[in-house]
Structure 1
């Protein structure tokens, strides 16, 4: 996550004091002002994010539930993704090619990149609100981080001292962290994103971490309280119901660790496909090729509906609702349906990574969970351990952060995570090592063949 890493040096330098026993950097007056500003910014950023994800969730419901019902369908018909994704491509093409900010960072590059400024923010908001509800296989996490950083920078630039780029970098990172904490179960996972991505220690780590923790805690509190008050659904990442759990045994580890490596390898190769898609889209007429990729996503989602006889909505969108349904009732899915979901949604996700706009994490969690549960029929592998290792492997492989991937899985598993903790951690470690090894092999320069 380049945003956090780019602010790392600023977090230490911004304090204006040397690290030592006589005066800790976070005790400087300038740093305390930055910390207080981060807390204050967390509140309006959380409110903005609340209405952002609430509107996105409402639009998604209208497109995939209300409109098909108004046309006489019980659910979205098999052909529904074709016009929906074509419209998404037509909307996104001018945003990507003509507006400042180009709709945000390419999702194949992860959550990183320079902070989105106020000038670029409108293109990100439009791309997310107008295309994600149409079925784009990406999540809201990257646009949310852009909203957080853009609003934070806008506030800083209107205050005295706005010329200090170091303070701006820290506050922008805190704003991004406050925004993403609203949908990742609170401030802990969001703060760990910063910690692991920045790769710091000692005083530098504390200097960057404290504003992010403070802003995300304030934002998460406001987000939760405002949600209970209004009752507006936001579609946050949660698993209300889980399969019956038990302590993992030897069979779960014997099956689970190779499966974690396989999931990590599959997701890494899919991201490589996304990079190929990004290169192809950038080489020619970007607008036309963006629409072509969106149409290809629609074809993949339609194929899922035709192969399985199920709703194409299960393979479309970010996947958090389908993930909750899968975790609540794994028996409702045949192995064939799960394999079709993996193939069709995986292909659609790879195309979206390289051509459309959104976040890469949410769809990968569904793919990891589906792969784990599809393999739960293996002798000796339980359903709950399979779900846990699939989530941990997918989160780690896509984020590249094993600690963050493990903690996110623990929060999703809730009370059941206590029994699954050893398997979750082991799966995250195996997935991270697999991803590193495969990326190194794929990126190694090829030696010329002898004549």
Structure 2
């Protein structure tokens, strides 16, 4: 994930006058870039706050519209028809309809809803404004229709594009790459309801900022944007709230370290199964070439998977994680195994079949289910630590970011006492995933699919 953000941030170069041939060499103590003065930080804080607030508002608006549509599809409409909303046939019908609707938008709407989310990470370069309406529509359709993807990748792309366009009209003094970095930070803060996640993500690559000053000078503006986004999210009634009913873990126990590492490594390995299937499934879908065909087929398969796994395997997974955690004893190991297999298959299909969305929120759900399964199979392991380890392993495999994995694991179980254990358990889990491929369709993968130079609906193959 940090490498993806670098693609946005690294073009942001602060120009430094270079000495001529006869000029003396700079003193060794001179920093590699200009210092960020207090005045400059204060001035840049103004667009950072505005970007933070607007990023949170756009996320809130998208979620509100998607929520209204979800209520219509899964509550009002089946009730008016006298159909149970959790009926396998209704689940199949809604997801099939969602696949067809998304395929029509990708095919017919200008901009074709932007790049295929399978080819993008959490960060994003600015898109033409004409692309954003179609992208917003397909994200709302996916969120409302029960597709196993989150809003994170598309909403980051939307916010980066809007921020760059808006700030460019107001002032040319702020570099577009810095605007994009602030929009990414603000959106991460809004998604998780706290600037801590953004700070952790940016800490991994902050050294690439070509500007002088301390670490906190470089983190200052991203934290301002993320803080504004997270505060705005809470004022609007959102946030990534803790959902754990477990008792505090308490003092670390040596044997728990071994058991927790087993759960985290097994969860990471399980996530890697889906990651290695990802390019194969993507190639199979895109062999159909037309977005209406492969997205409609994806909707049909998601409908079948949803009918098997039930409502708990639908949607992005955050509310469903709370449902699992509310009563862990209601889900025996056999049922948890089915939930895990169905949800992983649904994530791979949704990410491969042309739907637009992110993969972190479904990974969190998979981690919760994996942790509950690990806790059931290892009864001596406290459930709070087991769930945290499951989240750590799956998120680490899919997001490939240790900071995000640690943050989400601690935040969801709402137990800071598990953090010392997780800081050690993350090390063997990282060894499991570090040399594995990422959950991303690369240019090499696209080349193996041998797409035509131009696809039948007029969209260049490079942005499928």
TM range (shorter): 0.7 to 0.9
After superposition, the Cα gap between the structure-2 partners of 1:15 and 1:81, relative to the gap in structure 1 and judged at 3 Å, is farther
After superposition, the Cα gap between the structure-2 partners of 1:343 and 1:37, relative to the gap in structure 1 and judged at 3 Å, is same
Distance between the aligned counterparts of 1:358 and 1:217, measured in 2? 24
- Residue number in structure 1 paired with 2:5: 4
* Aligned-CA RMSD value: 3.0
- Residue number in structure 2 paired with 1:230: none
- Residue number in structure 2 paired with 1:309: none
Shift of 1:104: 4.4
After superposition, the Cα gap between the structure-2 partners of 1:48 and 1:214, relative to the gap in structure 1 and judged at 3 Å, is same
Shift of 1:15: 8.8
- Residue number in structure 2 paired with 1:388: 388
Superimposed CA distance per residue, residues 386-434 of structure 1 (whole angstroms, 9 cap, x where no aligned partner): 11111112222221111221122222222x222x112322333332221
Distance between the aligned counterparts of 1:181 and 1:15, measured in 2? 32
SS at match of 1:138: coil
After superposition, the Cα gap between the structure-2 partners of 1:103 and 1:237, relative to the gap in structure 1 and judged at 3 Å, is farther
Equivalent of residue 290 in structure 1, options 286, 295, 298: 295
- Residue number in structure 2 paired with 1:169: 177
1:333 aligns with 2:331: yes
Shift of 1:181: 1.5
Distance between the aligned counterparts of 2:17 and 2:134, measured in 1? 36
Do 2:268 and 2:432's aligned partners in 1 also have CA atoms closer than 8 Å? yes
Distance between the aligned counterparts of 1:191 and 1:124, measured in 2? 27
Structure 1 residues 362-371 or 177-186, which shifts more? 177-186
Distance between the aligned counterparts of 1:126 and 1:104, measured in 2? 14
After superposition, the Cα gap between the structure-2 partners of 1:103 and 1:70, relative to the gap in structure 1 and judged at 3 Å, is farther
Distance between the aligned counterparts of 2:324 and 2:305, measured in 1? 20
Do 1:104 and 1:146's aligned partners in 2 also have CA atoms closer than 8 Å? no
Shift of 1:111: 1.4
- Residue number in structure 2 paired with 1:317: 315
SS at match of 2:130: coil
SS at match of 1:79: helix
Shift of 1:74: 5.3
- Residue number in structure 2 paired with 1:245: 248
Superimposed CA distance per residue, residues 195-223 of structure 1 (whole angstroms, 9 cap, x where no aligned partner): 33566478486565332211111122222
After superposition, the Cα gap between the structure-2 partners of 1:23 and 1:130, relative to the gap in structure 1 and judged at 3 Å, is closer
After superposition, the Cα gap between the structure-2 partners of 1:82 and 1:350, relative to the gap in structure 1 and judged at 3 Å, is same
- Residue number in structure 2 paired with 1:363: 362
1:188 aligns with 2:196: yes
Do 1:393 and 1:427's aligned partners in 2 also have CA atoms closer than 8 Å? no
1:280 aligns with 2:280: no
Distance between the aligned counterparts of 1:274 and 1:429, measured in 2? 25
Superimposed CA distance per residue, residues 420-450 of structure 1 (whole angstroms, 9 cap, x where no aligned partner): 112322333332221113339xx9x9xxxxx
SS at match of 1:344: helix
Do 1:138 and 1:360's aligned partners in 2 also have CA atoms closer than 8 Å? yes
Shift of 1:110: 3.1
Equivalent of residue 223 in structure 1, options 233, 255, 260: 233
After superposition, the Cα gap between the structure-2 partners of 1:44 and 1:341, relative to the gap in structure 1 and judged at 3 Å, is same
Equivalent of residue 429 in structure 1, options 424, 427, 437: 427
Task: Provide structure 2 residue ranges, at least 5 long, that are not aligned to the other structure.
Answer: 19-25, 445-464
TM-score by length of 2: 0.82
SS at match of 2:434: helix
Distance between the aligned counterparts of 2:180 and 2:61, measured in 1? 20
- Residue number in structure 2 paired with 1:130: 141
- Residue number in structure 2 paired with 1:231: none
After superposition, the Cα gap between the structure-2 partners of 1:33 and 1:42, relative to the gap in structure 1 and judged at 3 Å, is same
- Residue number in structure 2 paired with 1:48: 58
SS at match of 2:193: coil
Equivalent of residue 111 in structure 2, options 100, 110, 118: 100
Task: Provide structure 1 residue ranges, at least 5 long, that are not aligned to the other structure.
Answer: 228-233, 305-311, 446-451
Do 2:8 and 2:123's aligned partners in 1 also have CA atoms closer than 8 Å? no
- Residue number in structure 1 paired with 2:411: 411
**What count of residue pairs does the alignment treat as equivalent?**
424
Shift of 1:21: 6.2
Do 1:16 and 1:28's aligned partners in 2 also have CA atoms closer than 8 Å? no
Shift of 1:35: 3.6
Distance between the aligned counterparts of 2:10 and 2:83, measured in 1? 55
TM-score by length of 1: 0.84
Do 1:392 and 1:409's aligned partners in 2 also have CA atoms closer than 8 Å? yes
Structure 1 residues 5-14 or 258-267, which shifts more? 5-14
Distance between the aligned counterparts of 1:43 and 1:275, measured in 2? 37
